[in-house]
C-alpha cells in the first residue's frame, strides 16, 4: 500500500477499506508515514467525512495503537464516563465515588484541561499530594482494594490519537465529527470499559453549540461503542451556563465535596445523580423498566448519608492526597482576593454565558491557553445567579477569586458582559435535552 493512494482515495470521496485505515494509522504511529501526509489525509477526512464503518475502523486502529488497559482481572464489567468538556464540570469528582459507593467499581483515566474547559486531573491536583500518574499495576491494585481510581491517562494510551490530535490542532481539522468521535472513543475503548456513559455538552460553553450538532456527535460515538461491543448511553446536557456555581480548580473540588455531603447546587446534584444512575444501572446490567429511577433514589441516599463522601476520602487517601483538605475544604488553596461583582438592575437572569465565565477564569490563571501553561489552583469564579433566578439591584452576581489585581480587573470586565438581566421572568434552562440509548443499554 502507498500513503498517497489512500490520501487520494479519500480526497476523491471514496470509502477506505478496513485494511487501508489500519495500515495508515499503524504506519503513522511507527513514524513511517510523515506528518505532512497524515495532515493531508486529515484534511481529506475533514472535507469528505467518513462512513459509520470507516469511523469504527479508525477508532479501533487508534485504540489498538498503544497499550490497552485490561481491567478484567480487577473488575468483571467496568463502567466509565466521558464528558465532552464544559465549564464548571466537576461531575467526575462526584460521580466516580458515588458509583463506587454503590458497589460498582470505577477505574477512570481523565485528561488535563486545554482552552476554556477544565480537566479533572487539574482539579484533583489542587489537593496537596494527590498522585495522578499511576502505573497500570497500581491502577489494578487500587481498584481491587478500594473500588475506585481517578488518574491521568498513561502515555501509551492510544498514542495515534495524541499524535493525530496535535496535527489536527495546527491544520484546522479539529471540528470534524468522525475525527472528534474517533479521538474520544479510541481512548475510552483503550481504557478497558465495557459500558460507557457519554455526557455530550451543548451550548455557549461547549464544543457543540446546537442540540442537532451534539446529537450527531453523540450518535456517532454511540455507534462506535456499539460496533465495538460496548453498552452505551449518551446524554445531551446544557452548557449554556456553567454547571453548578464554582468554576476554577480548588473551587470546584470544594463544590464537589459539598455535593458529596448531600448539599451543593441543585443542578449539579441532579446532573450527577443522572450520570451515576446510568453508570450503576449499566454496571449491574439492570434492564428492568424502573432501574434508572430506583438506582437514582438509592444514589441520592448515598449522597445524603455521607457514604459517597467517605469513598471520595478513601480515594484521596489511596492516591496520597491530604485528606484534611477533604474534611475541611477551607484548607484547599485559597486566592488572595475574593471580590463580588454586583447586579446593576432588577429583573431575571436571562443569560449567564458559560463561555464568558470560562474566559474570565482563564484570564485569572485557572486554565491553559497553551499546553505548557501552568495553572493556579486557587483562582476562579463563583456564579451566584443561574438563568431564571430573580435578580435585585445590588445582588452579587459573581465572586471573583484572584491572586493578581490586574488579572482581577480584566476578569471583571469580561464577567460584566456574561450576564443578561431581563425585566421579564425567564424559564430555567433544562439540565438535559435528550438521552440516546443503544438497544443493548
CB of 85 to ligand URA, least distance (A): 7
Burial per residue of 386-424, b for 16 or more beta-carbon CB atoms within 10 angstroms, e otherwise:
bbeeebeeebebbbbbbbbeebbeebbebbeebbebeee
CB of 422 to ligand URA, least distance (A): 33
CB of 149 to ligand URA, least distance (A): 20
- Which residues, numbered 87-116, are part of the site for ligand URA (CB under 6 A)? none
Residue with smaller CB distance to ligand URA, 40 or 174 = 174
* Alpha carbon distances (Å) from 51 to 157, 172, 189, 230, 302: 25, 21, 19, 19, 43
* Alpha carbon distances (Å) from 147 to 104, 244, 319, 323, 346: 7, 27, 13, 18, 49
Active site residue 385: no
Residue with smaller CB distance to ligand URA, 183 or 325 = 183
Active site residue 10: no
Helix (H, G, I), strand (E, B) or coil at 263: coil
Residue with smaller CB distance to ligand URA, 181 or 277 = 181
Nearest residue to 227 via CA among 104, 58, 105, 427: 58
* Catalytic residue of the set 22, 81, 123, 168: 168
CB of 184 to ligand URA, least distance (A): 5
Residue with smaller CB distance to ligand URA, 275 or 383 = 275
Active site residue 401: no
* Catalytic residue of the set 83, 110, 183, 186: 183
Site string for ligand URA, 47-86 (x = CB under 6 A): ----------------------------------------
For residues 174 and 115, give the distance between their C-alpha atoms in angstroms, rounded to a whole number: 13
Residue with smaller CB distance to ligand URA, 105 or 152 = 152
For residues 156 and 103, give the distance between their C-alpha atoms in angstroms, rounded to a whole number: 29
Q: What is the secondary structure of 107-148 as a DSSP string?
A: EEEE---BBTB--HHHHHTTSTT------HHHHHHHHHHHSE
- Which residues, numbered 306-335, are part of the site for ligand URA (CB under 6 A)? none
For residues 144 and 71, give the distance between their C-alpha atoms in angstroms, rounded to a whole number: 10
Active site residue 168: yes
Site string for ligand URA, 162-191 (x = CB under 6 A): ---x--------x----xx--xx-------
* Alpha carbon distances (Å) from 80 to 12, 28, 106, 387, 438: 38, 28, 7, 30, 15
CB of 266 to ligand URA, least distance (A): 28
Question: How many amino acids of this chain bind ligand URA (CB under 6 A)?
Answer: 6
- Beta-carbon contacts of 185 under 8 Å, excluding residues fewer than 6 positions away, are 59, 63, 221, 224, 225, 228
Q: Are 107 and 223 in contact (CB under 8 A)?
A: no
For residues 117 and 231, give the distance between their C-alpha atoms in angstroms, rounded to a whole number: 27
CB of 397 to ligand URA, least distance (A): 30
Name the residue whose CB lies closest to ligand URA: 183
Active site residue 440: no
The answer to the question of residue 117 lying near ligand URA (CB under 6 A) is no
Residue with smaller CB distance to ligand URA, 208 or 375 = 208
* Catalytic residue of the set 187, 215, 271, 313: 187
**Binding interface with ligand URA (CB under 6 A):** 165, 174, 179-180, 183-184
List the catalytic residues: 82, 161, 168, 183, 187
Amino acid at each position: 500500500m502507498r500513503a498517497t493512494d489512500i490520501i487520494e482515495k479519500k480526497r476523491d470521496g471514496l470509502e477506505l477499506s478496513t485494511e487501508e485505515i489500519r495500515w495508515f494509522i499503524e504506519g503513522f504511529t511507527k513514524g513511517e508515514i510523515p506528518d505532512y501526509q497524515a495532515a493531508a489525509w486529515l484534511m481529506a477526512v475533514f472535507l469528505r467525512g467518513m462512513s459509520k464503518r470507516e469511523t469504527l475502523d479508525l477508532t479501533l486502529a487508534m485504540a489498538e495503537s498503544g497499550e490497552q488497559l485490561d481491567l478484567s482481572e480487577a473488575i468483571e464489567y467496568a463502567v466509565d464516563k466521558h464528558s465532552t468538556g464544559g465549564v464548571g464540570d466537576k461531575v467526575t469528582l462526584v460521580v466516580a465515588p458515588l458509583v463506587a459507593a454503590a458497589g460498582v467499581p470505577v477505574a477512570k483515566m481523565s485528561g488535563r484541561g486545554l482552552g476554556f474547559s477544565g480537566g479533572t486531573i487539574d482539579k484533583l491536583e489542587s489537593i496537596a499530594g494527590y498522585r495522578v500518574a499511576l502505573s497500570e499495576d497500581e491502577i489494578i491494585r487500587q481498584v481491587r482494594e478500594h473500588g475506585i481510581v481517578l488518574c491521568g491517562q498513561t502515555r501509551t494510551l492510544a498514542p495515534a490519537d495524541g499524535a493525530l490530535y496535535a496535527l489536527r490542532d495546527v491544520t484546522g481539522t479539529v471540528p470534524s465529527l468522525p475525527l472528534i468521535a474517533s479521538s474520544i472513543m479510541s481512548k475510552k475503548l483503550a481504557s478497558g470499559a465495557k459500558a460507557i456513559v457519554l455526557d455530550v455538552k451543548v451550548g455557549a460553553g461547549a464544543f457543540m453549540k446546537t442540540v442537532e450538532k451534539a446529537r450527531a456527535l453523540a450518535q456517532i460515538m454511540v455507534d462506535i461503542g456499539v460496533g465495538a461491543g460496548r453498552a452505551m448511553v449518551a446524554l445531551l446536557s446544557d452548557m449554556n451556563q456553567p454547571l453548578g456555581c464554582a468554576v476554577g480548580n480548588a473551587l470546584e473540588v470544594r463544590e464537589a465535596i459539598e455535593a458529596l455531603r448531600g448539599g451543593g447546587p441543585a443542578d449539579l446534584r441532579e446532573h450527577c445523580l443522572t450520570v451515576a444512575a446510568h453508570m450503576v444501572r449499566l454496571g449491574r446490567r439492570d434492564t428492568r423498566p424502573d432501574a434508572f429511577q430506583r438506582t437514582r433514589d438509592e444514589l441520592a441516599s448515598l449522597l445524603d448519608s455521607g457514604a459517597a463522601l467517605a469513598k471520595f476520602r478513601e480515594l484521596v487517601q489511596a492516591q496520597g492526597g491530604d485528606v484534611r483538605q477533604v474534611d475541611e475544604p477551607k484548607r484547599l488553596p485559597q486566592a488572595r482576593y475574593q471580590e463580588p461583582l454586583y447586579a446593576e438592575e432588577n429583573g431575571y437572569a436571562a443569560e449567564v454565558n458559560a463561555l464568558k465565565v470560562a474566559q474570565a477564569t482563564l484570564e485569572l490563571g485557572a486554565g491553559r491557553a497553551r499546553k505548557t501553561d501552568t495553572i493556579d489552583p486557587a483562582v476562579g469564579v463563583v456564579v451566584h445567579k443561574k438563568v431564571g433566578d430573580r435578580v435585585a439591584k445590588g445582588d452579587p452576581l459573581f465572586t471573583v477569586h484572584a491572586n493578581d489585581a490586574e488579572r482581577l480587573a480584566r476578569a471583571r470586565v469580561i464577567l460584566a458582559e456574561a450576564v443578561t438581566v431581563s425585566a421579564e421572568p425567564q424559564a430555567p434552562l433544562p439540565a438535559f435535552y435528550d438521552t440516546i440509548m443503544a438497544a443493548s443499554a
